[in-house]
Amino acid sequence: MLIAGGIVIDVDGERPADVRVGADGRIAEVGPALTARDGEVVHDATGRLVIPGGVDAHTHLHLQVGAVQVSDDFATGTAAAAVGGTTTVIEYVTAHRGQAPLDALSIWRAKAEAACIDYGFHMTFTEAVTERAVAECIEYGITSFKLYMAYPDSLQVDDGVIVDVLRSTSRHGGLVTVHAENGPAISALQREALLAGRTGVIEHSRTRPALLEGEATARAAALAELVGAPIYIVHLSSAPALAAVRAAQERGVDIRAETCPEYLYLDTADLGGEGGENFVCTPPIRDSWHREELWEGLERGWLHTVATDHCPFWMHDRRIGTRGRPEGWRDFTEIPGGLPGIETRMTLVWSGVRAGRLAATDWVRLCAEAPARTFGLWPRKGSLRVGADADVVVWDPERTQSLDAEDLTMRTDHSPYAGHESVGWPELVLLGGRVIASDGRFTGAPGWGRYLPRDQVFAD
């Protein structure tokens, strides 16, 4: 296929160029005014942008939270991702306490065989692990790990484990990602709220203040500095956390941070209103002034990537909560947290370009190039250079798309952006040279996705 007449945007800048996809599913040629060959399909991309497929470095396509589970699976979630312009996901596997990491991985591997787009895995440790366990994951191509500083009852590890894992991971060239919130302090605030009879949705946000995200982010950065290891902060949501990242960057710590569209567009007013339970995610969405700081962080390069933390629940499951109560959850701690987003990330960040907050090249870097580089997929992913996988999005900057749940492909009955029409949407999406979405419709199939063993991370 020859994609002709568009504006190519990738690591080499923004310029008019044609893109030739080879029979091997890789980029064969990029340049001005390429001549179509006999039998070659030509896609006219005049007036369109031609970009590398998006890389979403944070998804949950298989996850059980108490009595409920996420409403998308690998087949449905990755189909939605493709429609929205994302062709690679990195999914979080959780090794629960007492479970061998490779056993957890085999569960996720079986689920992921249905994926429609390419995928890799991060591994979450919820207790101390041996260096051997880290090395085994890396041999398998899992080069990034996650540690929680919150959820003491189930997921959190203490600072000593963080130091140990930072050390063993960095010895093997891997990267630790961190959920940075101060779990024990949050638990104390939750107990106070419940004792005082404050059980409503808004308490989810009040008991997880930005201050405690800032504190944990600063602590994670200090532990990385102590060890001399790189670190990556997932789903950064607030100004104090961003300030902690900047302070660490200024003293030379190799720290990178991701934010998510929900923190760029939603705020506590959504949580406080009707149906507020459908806006519960962790960290919580913040007061609106934080958003301005996050946009500035993206623009100035203090924030490195935009991922989704895609983690959708049916409204029914929100209501019955993690305890599965038919009469409904009793207090805010029982509401499963997470939002749908795998399909809408590219267009929501593109909206920042339309609003003049970001350059188009920033959009491609934040959504494709930087996550590919950071997580060991570069230059196979996140790039349109010759030899890269032909994961190509032909982006129509003027195409409108309703963000109501029923108009999206994600398997969810609630959209955080309901009532909004986004401008900018893919007209054609290729995965390894095959058309996986066209004219807003999914044209691929479960099983098209390939497992991506990843290199040691932080390519420059």
Binding residues for Zn ion, per CB under 5 A?
309
The least CB distance from residue 252 to Zn ion, in Å, is 28
In whole angstroms, give the CA distance from residue 371 to residue 365.
8
Question: Where does 260-388 show beta strands of DSSP type E?
Answer: 305-306
Q: Which C-beta is closer to Zn ion: that of 20 or that of 122? A: 122
Across the chain, which distance is largest between two alpha carbons, in Å?
75
The residue sitting closest to Zn ion, measured at its beta carbon, is 309
Amino acid at 18: D
Backbone dihedral angles phi then psi of residue 145, each to the nearest 5 degrees: -135, 155
From the list 372, 453, 444, the residue with the least C-alpha distance to 76 is 444
Helix (H) or strand (E) holding 442: strand 441-442
Q: Which C-beta is closer to Zn ion: that of 257 or that of 430? A: 257
Q: Which C-beta is closer to Zn ion: that of 56 or that of 309? A: 309
The least CB distance from residue 248 to Zn ion, in Å, is 22
In whole angstroms, give the CA distance from residue 10 to residue 14.
7
The least CB distance from residue 60 to Zn ion, in Å, is 6
In whole angstroms, give the CA distance from residue 297 to residue 259.
10
CA atoms within 13 A on the CB side of 246: 14
The least CB distance from residue 309 to Zn ion, in Å, is 4
The least CB distance from residue 58 to Zn ion, in Å, is 6
The least CB distance from residue 234 to Zn ion, in Å, is 6
In whole angstroms, give the CA distance from residue 444 to residue 417.
26
Q: Which C-beta is closer to Zn ion: that of 10 or that of 181? A: 181
Q: Which C-beta is closer to Zn ion: that of 50 or that of 212? A: 212
In whole angstroms, give the CA distance from residue 458 to residue 450.
22
Helix (H, G, I), strand (E, B) or coil at 119: strand
In whole angstroms, give the CA distance from residue 106 to residue 114.
14
Q: Which C-beta is closer to Zn ion: that of 10 or that of 309? A: 309
The least CB distance from residue 123 to Zn ion, in Å, is 13
Q: Which C-beta is closer to Zn ion: that of 259 or that of 422? A: 259
The least CB distance from residue 157 to Zn ion, in Å, is 16
Q: Which C-beta is closer to Zn ion: that of 258 or that of 317? A: 258
The CA-atom distances, in angstroms, between 434 and each of 6, 116, 135 are 19, 11, 35
Q: Which C-beta is closer to Zn ion: that of 43 or that of 146? A: 146
The least CB distance from residue 11 to Zn ion, in Å, is 27
Which residue shows structure tokens 């390939």?
A: 450
> Pairing mode, if any, of strands 392-402 and 305-306?
unpaired
- 227 within 8 A of 255, measured Cβ to Cβ: no
